[in-house]
Structure 1
């Protein structure tokens, strides 16, 4: 599969990532002194399962790493089921391609549970703030709805279908497997 075709397949996902990143960047500017979450923080990094669109985007980034780094990650993936295998010395090796859950984790998420409004974020963040502005919050339900729609559009492009979720360790070499032999 050519890079151009794959770029087109991932366009909706890339657009969603841009929107999420813009929100996170705004939060980072406004609350920079109150944020512990940033590149290098791996306290919450777990071995996750991803929507196929995210798994393929992550796999594409993985395929661009140098061979020794890919080999180290693959070895780690065999040894762990809790910590994300993409971490090397506490740094995500595909940080720019990390999934939405990783991009948003720790930041204020708005959700409703049983009709009650809830806000959740990492307890290391926003210390001393009593109330966050509504514009600081990411609407988790809306974001998940958008991600689901983007994923459904992506998976519809594959004749044989794709699983609903793909664990990170199984996602690593998906992109390479799409390449012509």
Structure 2
């Protein structure tokens, strides 16, 4: 298990290096900061390995504290700040950046899609940005899926965990 967590940390380090460069490049438009949590939606799921990593590092929090009220991520504190920031999941590490991905319309047609947090739209329209100025969704998700596959033999559809479900003292409706 230690090897799997080391592999996950190496993955996070690579993501952090690349997103740090993008954050620097887009510093004039990014409004993201501690307490900005409009992207921190409820019911986010992560791969089992990421959930186990959170449990490993935040055992006391999960066992003894309440999740943030429903509507936003369970790991936010009362000020809207992330309580697991250092070990946050992959999906949280790319939030706010200009995103791009390729969608297959049919067997012969691919289309590039782009998106950015509405708070970060000001500036050069994201459709005009170079591909390398965006976080490309796909390659890193595949790397993370491989890390997950090496961690557990559960079928890919059964290895997702809701962040809210990690809490032991969850307020159930």
For Structure 1 versus Structure 2, the TM-score category normalised by the shorter chain is 0.7 to 0.9
Instruction: After superposition, give the CA deviation of every residue in 1:128-160 in whole Å (9 maximum; x if it has no partner).
Output: 21322222222211121111111111114x9xx
Q: What does residue 142 of structure 2 align with?
A: 145
Higher relative helix content: 1
Gaps of 5+ in 1: 174-181
1:109 to 93, 96, 99: 99
TM-score when scaled to structure 1? 0.76
TM-score when scaled to structure 2? 0.79
Instruction: After superposition, give the CA deviation of every residue in 1:67-111 in whole Å (9 maximum; x if it has no partner).
Output: xx8633xx336x52x311111121110011111111112212221
What is the rounded CA distance, in whole Å, between the counterparts of 2:135 and 2:159 in structure 1? 24
Q: 1:154 to 1:172 in 2, by over 3 A?
A: farther
Q: What does residue 178 of structure 1 align with?
A: none
Q: What is the aligned-residue RMSD (CA, Å)?
A: 2.4
Look up the SS of the partner of 1:32 in the other structure.
coil
| Aligned 1:86-97 pairs, distance under 5 A | 86-88=75-77, 89-97=79-87
4+ residue segments displaced more than 6 Å? none
Gaps of 5+ in 2: 169-173
